A = this chain, B = another copy of it.
Amino acid sequence: MEKIDVAILGATGTVGQKFILLLQNHPYFEVKELVASERSAGKSYADACSWKQDIPIPTEVAGLQVKGIEEQLRSRILFSGLDSSVAGTAETKYAEAGHLVISNSSNHRMDPQVPLVIPEINPEHFRLIYSQQHKGAIVTNPNCSTIFCTMAIAPLHREFGVEAVNVTTLQAISGAGYPGVPSLDILGNVVPYIGGEEDKIEAEPLKILGALSGDVIKPVSIKISAQCNRVPVYDGHTETLSIKLKGNPRLAEVRQALLDFSGLPQELELPSAPEKPILVLDAPDRPQPARDSWLQRGMATVVGRLRPCPVLGIKMVILGHNTVRGAAGAAILNAETMVRQGYLKNGNRLPKSQRRARTTSLTESR
Contact = CB atoms under 8 A, between A and B. Distances in A.
Contact of A290 (B179, B189, B315): B189
A223 B183 contact: no
Contact of A291 (B14, B189, B223, B229): B189
A238 B232 contact: no
B310 A231 contact: no
Interface residues of A, number: 57
B190 A311 contact: no
Contacts of A107: none
Contact of A310 (B225, B233, B234, B286): B225
Given A238-B229, A291-B54, A182 B178 contact: yes
A174 interface: yes
Contacts of A310: 202, 223-225
A310 B180 CA distance: 29
Interface in A142-182: 164-166, 168, 170, 173-174, 178-182
Contact of A166 (B182, B185, B311): B311
Given A185-B183, A225-B310, A294-B54, A190 B305 contact: no
Contacts of A229: 170, 238, 240
Contacts of A173: 183-184, 187
A285 B191 contact: yes
Contacts of A52: 184, 291
A190 B230 CA distance: 11
Interface in A266-292: 284-291
B234 A231 contact: no
Contact of A242 (B174, B225, B286): B225
A191 B288 contact: yes
A227 interface: yes
B183 A187 contact: yes
Interface string A307-350: 00111100101000000000000000000000000000000000
A188 interface: yes
Contacts of A231: 170, 190, 231-232
12 contacts: A165-B311, A166-B311, A179-B182, A183-B186, A183-B187, A188-B234, A189-B233, A190-B289, A191-B285, A192-B317, A223-B311, A227-B317
Interface of A: 14, 52, 54, 164-166, 168, 170, 173-174, 178-193, 202, 223-225, 227, 229, 231-234, 238, 240, 242, 244, 284-291, 294, 304-305, 309-312, 315, 317
Going nearest first, the 10 A-B pairs with the smallest beta carbon separation are: A179-B182, A189-B290, A168-B168, A193-B285, A227-B240, A225-B311, A192-B317, A183-B183, A168-B240, A181-B183
